[in-house]
Structure 1
Amino acid sequence: MKKYRIAVVGIGGVGGYYGGLLANRFAKDENHEVVFIARGKHKELIAQQGLKLALDGEELVVRPSMVTDETAHIGHFDLVLFCVKSYSLQQVAEQMAPNIGPETVILPLLNGAESIAYLQQRFPEAQVLWGCVYIIASIKEPGVVQVQGQYNRLIWGNPELPEQTLQRISTLFDEAGINHEHYGQEVKSKVWEKFSFISPVASLTSLTHQTMGQIVEQPELAAQLQQLMQELVQVAHAKGIPLPDDIIKRNLAVVERMQRGVTSSMERDFAQGKDTELENLTGYVVREAQKYGVSVPQYEQVYHKLKGGC
């Protein structure tokens, strides 16, 4: 029987958690192979002592079938999970190109929606799913991924793929103990529901360097956040992606419930002078708005300022 080969690209918070669960279940299964694509000290320590998952109340040590940063000569995969930051996607996709064929299913678990479109264009012969996750996880130190809380959801689907393929992945996730939700036609809307929250929040916190609490306590900033959400919903509708009528109300309620000191990962990247997901989380909305003739003055202003404009 041919092995079912799984690659997890990027062993950060998302890749570490979902890759860890897959490796925990299947790495020693003779019918499966789970390969981690990692680099640097993180890769070295995983190879030496396994990946440590620090979960609420327990620590799980998992060992993949292989951990490597060289993929050119290790053959095709049946399933590839892309779990890198959006600004690294193009480089990593080129690295993985020799490993992706017509039989390969690709599941992007990145922030936003642009990465999905990119992978569909880059690998038209492959089977690309829509996907997103709700999880709080990060690299605590090399070789260790910390996951906070129990609220972990993986949303995925593509109604255009064969039912047998979708059922195989669903069974795989079930057996690995992954909390997942498989959608048909609604999957694009589900991904954009998450995007309708993280894009405005990431954009405004990065511009102002204000926390969630500071934003909701300042009427001008709270109104600006709501305007960003409204503009994004208009872009989604122009693209033919339906969102719930009360999505803005829901998103604002989530902001109100969040801890007052919370910011966003993009804001922290800006503050620390790191690469950011600006193009994927903010610029994409501006570009799509221009494409569909939608007015997004708040997004244009925020994007221009974050790009370094006046």
Structure 2
Amino acid sequence: MKILIVGAGAIGGYFGGRLLEKGEDVTFLVREGRKEKLQQTGLNIQSKHGDLQLSPKLITKKEQSAPFDVVLLSTKSYQLKNAIEDVKAFVDSNTMILPLLNGIAHLTPLVEAFGEERVIGGLCFVETTLAEDGTIVQTSPTHQLIYGERTGDDTQRIQRLEQAFSGTKADFIRSDNIEQEMWHKYLFITAMSGITSMMESPIGPIRELESGQRTIQTLLEELAAIMGKMEAPIQREIADMQLKRINSMSAEMKSSMQRDIEKMQATEAEHLQGYLLARAKELEMQVPVLEIIYTKLKLYEQKLTKDA
């Protein structure tokens, strides 16, 4: 299959690199500056699962190319609008759009741009960052990419994608219940990013405090209640399941949102916390912990804009 990875950043670069390592036909769609840099240095990955030095195929949005079989999107939510415009020239009626963005709100603009049939479901669990020299640094034992038809159907195209992804030195996992997987991760990442960003701390010191533990649990229950009222396909015990997961994580674990704030970069607050807070208001639900977290994040964004 011809695979187009949008961007060669921390997530797309990592999973695209693993596919390239296997020998798949992978191309990266990048900006002019990133293309020049990668042509000089190659795509370098430092990982717990083995380092890589690769010379990938690179294109920019101005270049011509035949349509791709699958387009993998791993941009931040605030980059999605531009990414959609960038990839339109490389998509035809047979192309699968595989988004790895956190949350759910991105599905609507993707379906509007490419059609219901083209957009499949996806998410990932991996801890990666982009070093100053452009190296992708992957530090977590977990490096999962989960994908599947949003209908749960066993289609020929998803079987082809499964064949292309199999044997890669990362965990590419097909799910027949991808929408539930996406909602479950949405709940987890919204809680994890919100708590660590608001407290300005890794998860360990927060959960060691009795008050911290209660705050985490209350937030998870608020998020699950909103999703339940929205009739999202979540398990009834999801809040308890995610609390156990958070309590089992490494004490030093930070969320990507927290790391973005430490670097004085933009966040996905509107896409994650903001989307669910808006739904809670529509449903006339009281969600005080979520509201406090959202307020903290919006104040940070206002300061970031003012200082820019």
With normalisation by structure 1, the TM-score equals 0.86
> Is it true that 1:170 corresponds to 2:145 in the alignment?
no
Cα separation, 1, equivalents of 2:204 and 2:154: 46
Aligned to 1:18: 15
Cα separation, 2, equivalents of 1:57 and 1:301: 39
Cα separation, 1, equivalents of 2:284 and 2:95: 36
Local SS of the residue matching 2:27: strand
Matches within 5 A, 1:64-213: 64=56, 66-71=57-62, 73-124=64-115, 127-160=118-151, 163-184=155-176, 186-213=177-204
> Is it true that 1:255 corresponds to 2:252 in the alignment?
no
Going from structure 1 to structure 2, the CA distance change for 1:159 and 1:269 (only over 3 Å counts) comes to closer
Cα separation, 2, equivalents of 1:48 and 1:141: 15
Cα separation, 1, equivalents of 2:5 and 2:209: 42
Asked whether the equivalents of residues 150 and 179 of structure 2 are also in contact (C-alpha less than 8 Å), the reply is no
Going from structure 1 to structure 2, the CA distance change for 1:244 and 1:274 (only over 3 Å counts) comes to same
The alignment of Structure 1 onto Structure 2 pairs a total of residues equal to 300
What amino acid is aligned across from residue 299 of structure 1 in structure 2? L
Asked whether the equivalents of residues 42 and 142 of structure 1 are also in contact (C-alpha less than 8 Å), the reply is no
C-alpha deviation, 1:181, in angstroms? 2.0
Unmatched runs of 5 consecutive residues or more in structure 2: 303-308
Cα deviation, 1:187-213, whole Å, max 9, x if unaligned, reads 111112112111012112222213312
Cα separation, 2, equivalents of 1:236 and 1:54: 37
Local SS of the residue matching 2:131: strand
Select which of 246, 250, 261 maps to 1:270.
261
Cα separation, 2, equivalents of 1:71 and 1:286: 39
Asked whether the equivalents of residues 220 and 243 of structure 2 are also in contact (C-alpha less than 8 Å), the reply is no
What amino acid is aligned across from residue 17 of structure 2 in structure 1? G
What amino acid is aligned across from residue 269 of structure 2 in structure 1? L
Cα separation, 2, equivalents of 1:140 and 1:308: 27
> Is it true that 1:59 corresponds to 2:51 in the alignment?
yes
Aligned to 1:30: none
Unmatched runs of 5 consecutive residues or more in structure 1: 28-32
Cα separation, 1, equivalents of 2:116 and 2:204: 46
Local SS of the residue matching 1:133: strand
Asked whether the equivalents of residues 55 and 146 of structure 1 are also in contact (C-alpha less than 8 Å), the reply is yes
Asked whether the equivalents of residues 202 and 281 of structure 1 are also in contact (C-alpha less than 8 Å), the reply is no
Going from structure 1 to structure 2, the CA distance change for 1:177 and 1:215 (only over 3 Å counts) comes to closer
C-alpha deviation, 1:162, in angstroms? 6.8
Cα separation, 2, equivalents of 1:237 and 1:153: 26
Identical aligned pairs, as a percentage? 29
Select which of 222, 236, 252 maps to 2:227.
236
Aligned to 1:8: 5
With normalisation by structure 2, the TM-score equals 0.87
